């Protein structure tokens, strides 16, 4: 199954964040942790239509590593994989 975002929405694969203690012990990701605020864009919509009817192109592209607002994405699970759907407006930075 593939996801195709509409309008100015993007599909993001959340970054896996492992925590490491000062002594080097890796703490596993658990259900009680909050969702990550970083991820990789895997699909982008065509863009938003402005009031004048013109299409405003997306500034994000597939493969961008992004930082987004913590509580803005909708979470979905497809084929056992977690994905986040969010508006381009909720992406605050591209990691270069």
Tell me, yes or no, whether 28 lies in a domain.
no
Tell me, yes or no, whether 54 lies in a domain.
yes
Domain that holds residue 47: 9-16+34-95
Task: Decide: residue 74, CB within 10 A, 0-12 exposed, 13-18 middle, 19+ buried.
Answer: exposed
Supply the pLDDT for residue 2. Answer: 81
Number of domains comprising the chain: 1
- Residues of the chain scoring pLDDT < 70: 17-21, 26-36
Tell me, yes or no, whether 27 lies in a domain.
no
Tell me, yes or no, whether 62 lies in a domain.
yes
Tell me, yes or no, whether 51 lies in a domain.
yes
Task: Decide: residue 13, CB within 10 A, 0-12 exposed, 13-18 middle, 19+ buried.
Answer: middle
CATH number where 84 lies: 2.30.33.40
pTM over 0.95: no
Tell me, yes or no, whether 68 lies in a domain.
yes
């Amino acid at each position: 199954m593939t996801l195709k975002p509409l309008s100015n929405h993007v599909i993001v694969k959340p970054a896996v964040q492992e925590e490491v203690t000062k002594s080097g012990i890796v703490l596993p990701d658990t259900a009680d942790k909050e969702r990550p605020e970083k991820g990789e864009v895997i699909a982008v919509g065509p863009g938003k239509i402005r009031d004048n009817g013109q299409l405003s192109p997306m500034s994000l592209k597939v493969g961008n590593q992004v930082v987004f607002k913590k509580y803005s994405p909708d979470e979905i699970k497809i084929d056992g994989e977690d994905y986040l759907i969010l508006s381009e407006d909720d992406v605050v930075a591209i990691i270069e």
